[in-house]
Structure 1
Amino acid sequence: MIPNTTTAAPGGGEDYTTAEGLRALLTRMHEEGPGAWRTDATAAKVMEYAADKYAALARKHGLDPWEAVSAAFEVMRTRSAREASDPWAVVTHAVRITCIAEERGQGLLCSTHQARRPHYSIFHDAERLSDRENPLDDYHPAFHITDPHPDDEHGDEREAAAEPTGTQTSASRAVEDAIAFVTVLGWPAQTARAAVEHVCHALARAGSRQSAFEVLRRDQHSRALLDLPGSSWTALLRALLGNPTPGIAATSAGRGILLRLLIGETLPVLLHDDDLVLTVSLAAPRNGRRR
Structure 2
Amino acid sequence: MTTRTMTADEGGTEDFTTGEGLRALLRRLHEAGPDAWRTDPVAARLMAFAAEKYEALARKHGLDPWEAATAAFDVMRTRSAREAVDPWGVVTHAVRITCIFEERAQGLLCSVHQARRPHVSVFHDAERLSERDNPLDDYHSAFHTTDTTPDDEHSAEGHTSAVSAVEDAIAFMTLLGWPAAAARAGVEHVCQALARAGSRQSAFEVLRRDRHAQALLDLDGEAWSALLKTLLGNQAPGMSATTAGRGILLRLLIGETLPVLLHDDDLVLTVALAAPGSGRS
State the TM-score, normalizing by the size of structure 2. 0.46
Structure holding more helix per residue: 2
State the TM-score, normalizing by the size of structure 1. 0.44
Higher-Rg member (1/2): 1
